[in-house]
Amino acid sequence: MKSIRELKLQLENQKKEADQLIKDDEKIRAEISAQQAAQAQLLAQTRGEEVEFQKQIAGKKSQINQLQAAQIAANRQIGGGGKVVAGDPGKGQLSGLPK
């Protein structure tokens, strides 16, 4: 049988190991918590940027629509009411080019 001294020493070693495991666990938990906080911050930043990009996209789409409307109006003023008339491109005349 083991002596009381050996058992006491074994118990002390097990306690040291348990304490070290607890410290390691606390350290890992702190690292995980820090990583989660960083991820949450990055996610919030990304969502904020997405909202801003969506606003920019909506603004650009609005500009495109306005420019298209202006182009249609200009085409109507030029003639043809904005309609394309089919024809024979070989029968047209361009100034400065031989017939």
CA 98 and chain centroid, separation: 56
pLDDT tier at 12, thresholds 50, 70, 90: very high
pLDDT tens across 33-88, in order? 999 999 999 999 999 999 999 999 999 999 999 999 999 999 888 875 545 556 66
Q: Are 46 and 53 in contact (CB under 8 A)?
A: no
